[in-house]
Amino acid sequence: MLLSKIKVVGHSMEPTLKQNKIVIVSSIPYLFKKPTIGDIVVLKRQKYIIKRITAIKKEQVFVIGDNKKESTDSRNFGWIKKDSILGKVIHIG
């Protein structure tokens, strides 16, 4: 995902990202710097999901929605391989 326009569907990233928010996502920042805690990233599972990195270990990341009460995330499906990260949110429209 060199550079993509992504529409957010769902409420798990509220209040940071509301439903239907458009964000620009890119993998370019990760060419120069490793993913860090606090980054909002788009990951590939069965579909694209958007979450925030809250913990990192070796080749895996733990991601959680900002709206913790209403989010299905690593607390449910566990750690995700870093390879699954498609890009970082670089702009919130």
Partner 1 sequence: MIRKRIINFLIKYLPGEIAYAHCDIPCGIYDPHAAQVGAHTVIRMTQLLNELKREGETKAEHDIARMTQAKEEHGSLIEDELGTLENDYFKEEHFREYPELKKLIADAVKLSIKTRQTIDMVSAEQLLEAVLKIAEIFYKTKNLEPVRVKSPYPTEREIVVYK
Among 51, 53, 54, 61, the residue binding partner 1 under the rule CB under 8 A is 51
Question: Does 81 sit near partner 1 (CB under 8 A)?
Answer: no
Q: Binders of partner 1 among 26-45, rule CB under 8 A?
A: 42, 45
Judged by DSSP in three states, 42 sits in strand
Question: Does 22 sit near partner 1 (CB under 8 A)?
Answer: yes
Rounded CA gap, 50 and 39, in Å?
A: 10
63: left (phi over 0), alpha (psi -120 to 50) or beta: beta
Among 53, 54, 63, 65, the residue binding partner 1 under the rule CB under 8 A is 65
Q: Which is nearer to partner 1, 45 or 57 (CB)?
A: 45
Rounded CA gap, 18 and 34, in Å?
A: 26
